[in-house]
């Protein structure tokens, strides 16, 4: 399945903080047992952080699914954001967000008074 | 440990490295007893991350109250607190010091007495940019004990007043000076000022000096 582009802002978070992403997801027909997973990584196969599989029942309409994620501890990286949706165990939707999640890192050296 | 005067404007420079490059960042340096009480702050200094160390300058007006303060640096990116540092060295805000000149004075004569009083003065200067008020004392001691100030214990002269006052609160304007005079005088009815209570015998000599509440002393003069 070819991954589709998903619109989102370009968020910046501190390392290891807990954040919840909310995604409007439409799966038809209604009544299907579905699961969604949002994960961050530098590629679709490397999951630096994931919401795990979040179950929901399709309604046939847009429904907001909350996807809690603990941000990666490794900073200084712009992580791609992936969203996979499964129905009855089959991968139904595979999205890649247009913007990355940025986890900055840095350091402060010795202070000099002049 | 850096030491500054109250309300002085100082600039701190810190190398800050933030990755990835191109992030809109803000840094703040502040002083305080803890990281939630900002007694003095640079405010938020915006900069763009480069992924490499870059020198960020912080202009801070030092606290007006003397004391020891921790130094904190917070760095935010995208509005998120990313780095929170505390400096390994505190900043000390010292009480500004007055400068004493060399005192001058003379013994005062007392009719019908073999003892004398003394009248000693000193010029006190304030080299700082702010007005300073300090409690000033005038000390004296027989020369036979000099230079030890503990053998017989030094004594403190009284300033002029209705009652004996052994200190004077002196305010010296910024960049200015004030001359302080300390005659040894008691107001005793019938005797007037200066001669009722003997201070020093005619044949002996004594050292006199001035001292402020922080222990700063003038040179001593021998009378």
For residue B188, the model assigns a pLDDT of 31
- What the block records as the tokens of B222 is 């021998």
Distance from the Cα of A85 to chain B's closest Cα (Å) equals 29
Which value, in Å, is the radius of gyration of the alpha carbons in chain A?
Answer: 17
- Give the pLDDT score at B180: 87
Please give the average per-residue pLDDT across A77-102, as a whole number: 93
The pTM is what? 0.66
Q: Of the candidates B145, B131, B129, B156, which has an alpha carbon nearest to the alpha carbon of residue B217? A: B156
Q: What are the tens digits of pLDDT across the range B7-33?
A: 889 999 999 999 999 899 999 999 999
Q: Comparing C-alpha atoms, which of A12, A4, A24 is closest to residue A98?
A: A4
Q: Three-state SS for B143?
A: helix
Chain CA centroid to CA B18, Å: 41
Find tokens 């990755």 and name the residue: B19
Quick one: which H or E segment has residue B22? none
pLDDT over 80 at B150, yes or no: no
In B, which residues are within 8 Å of A102 by CB distance?
Answer: 20, 23, 77-78
B42 touches chain A (CB under 8 A): no
Q: Characterize the bridge pairing of strands B3-4 and B91-93.
A: parallel
pLDDT of res. B84: 95
Burial readout B7-22 (b: 16 or more C-beta within 10 A, e: otherwise):
bbebebbbebbbbbee
A38 close to A83: Cβ distance less than 8 angstroms: yes
Distance CA(B206)–CA(B23), nearest Å, equals 72
Which chain A residues are Cβ-neighbours of B77 within 8 angstroms?
A: 12, 102, 104
- One DSSP character per residue, A42-104 reads SBTTB-SEE---EEEE--SS-EEEEEEEEPPS--SEEEEEEEEEEETTEEEEEEEESSPEEE-
Residue B161 — very low, low, confident or very high, per pLDDT cuts 50/70/90?
Answer: very low
Q: Mapping DSSP to helix (H, G, I), strand (E, B) and coil, where does residue B47 land?
A: strand
CB contact under 8 A, B14 and A12: no
Structure-block tokens of residue B120: 């000693």
Predicted complex ipTM: 0.77
Q: What's the gap in Å between the CA of A51 and the closest CA on chain B?
A: 21
Contact B83, A107 (CB under 8 A): yes
According to DSSP, the residues that pair with B117 across neighbouring strands are B108
Q: Is the dihedral of CA B195, B201, B203, B209 positive or negative?
A: negative
**pLDDT: which is higher, B50 or B144:** B50
What is the nearest CA distance from B24 to chain A, expressed in angstroms?
10
- Residue B211 DSSP one-character state: E
Q: Cβ separation of A106 and B85 shorter than 8 Å? A: no
- The average confidence (pLDDT) of chain A is 92
Sign of the torsion angle spanned by Cα atoms A16, A17, A18, A22:
negative
A13 burial via Cβ count (<10 Å: 0-12, 13-18, 19+): buried
Check pLDDT > 70 for residue B196: no
What pLDDT shows up at residue B187?
31
Q: What are the pLDDT digits (tens) for A19-67?
A: 999 999 999 999 999 999 999 999 999 999 999 999 999 999 999 999 9
Contacts of B15 in chain A (CB under 8 A): 108-110
Which chain A residue has its CA at the smallest distance from B23's CA? Answer: A104
Which chain A residues touch B91 with a CB distance below 8 Å? 113
Q: Which of B166, B159, B161, B155 is nearest to B187 (CA)?
A: B161
The two tokens of residue B155 are: 């004594």
Q: How much is the pLDDT for B177? A: 95
Q: How far is A58 from chain B (nearest CA, A)?
A: 35
């Amino acid at each position: 399945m070819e991954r589709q582009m998903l619109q989102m802002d370009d968020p910046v978070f501190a390392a290891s903080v807990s954040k919840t992403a909310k995604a409007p997801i439409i799966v038809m027909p209604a009544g299907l047992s579905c699961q969604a997973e949002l994960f961050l990584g530098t590629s679709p196969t490397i999951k630096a952080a994931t919401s795990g599989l979040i179950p929901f029942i399709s309604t046939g309409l847009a429904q907001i699914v909350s996807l809690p994620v603990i941000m990666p501890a490794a900073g200084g990286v712009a992580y791609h954001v992936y969203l996979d949706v499964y129905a009855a165990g089959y991968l139904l939707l595979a999205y890649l967000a247009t913007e990355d999640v940025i986890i900055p890192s840095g350091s402060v050296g010795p202070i000099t008074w002049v | 440990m850096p030491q500054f005067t109250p309300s002085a404007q100082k600039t701190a420079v810190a190398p800050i490295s933030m990755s990835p490059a191109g992030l809109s960042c803000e840094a703040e340096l502040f002083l305080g007893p803890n990281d939630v009480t900002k007694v003095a702050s640079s405010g938020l200094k915006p900069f763009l991350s480069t992924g490499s160390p870059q020198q960020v300058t912080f202009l801070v007006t030092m606290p007006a109250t003397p004391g020891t303060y921790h130094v904190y640096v917070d760095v935010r990116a995208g509005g998120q607190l990313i780095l929170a540092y505390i400096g390994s060295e505190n900043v000390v805000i010292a009480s500004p010091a007055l400068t004493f000149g060399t005192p001058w004075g003379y013994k005062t004569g007392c009719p019908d007495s073999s003892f004398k009083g003394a009248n000693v003065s000193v010029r006190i200067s304030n080299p700082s940019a702010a007005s300073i008020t300090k409690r000033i004392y005038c000390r004296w001691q027989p020369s036979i004990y000099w230079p030890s100030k503990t053998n017989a214990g030094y004594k403190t002269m009284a300033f002029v007043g209705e009652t004996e006052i052994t200190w004077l609160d002196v305010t010296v304007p910024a960049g200015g000076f004030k001359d302080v005079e300390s005659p040894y005088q008691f107001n005793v009815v019938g005797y007037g000022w200066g001669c009722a209570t003997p201070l020093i015998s005619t044949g002996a000599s004594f050292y006199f000096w001035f001292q402020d509440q922080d222990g700063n002393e003038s040179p001593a003069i021998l009378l």
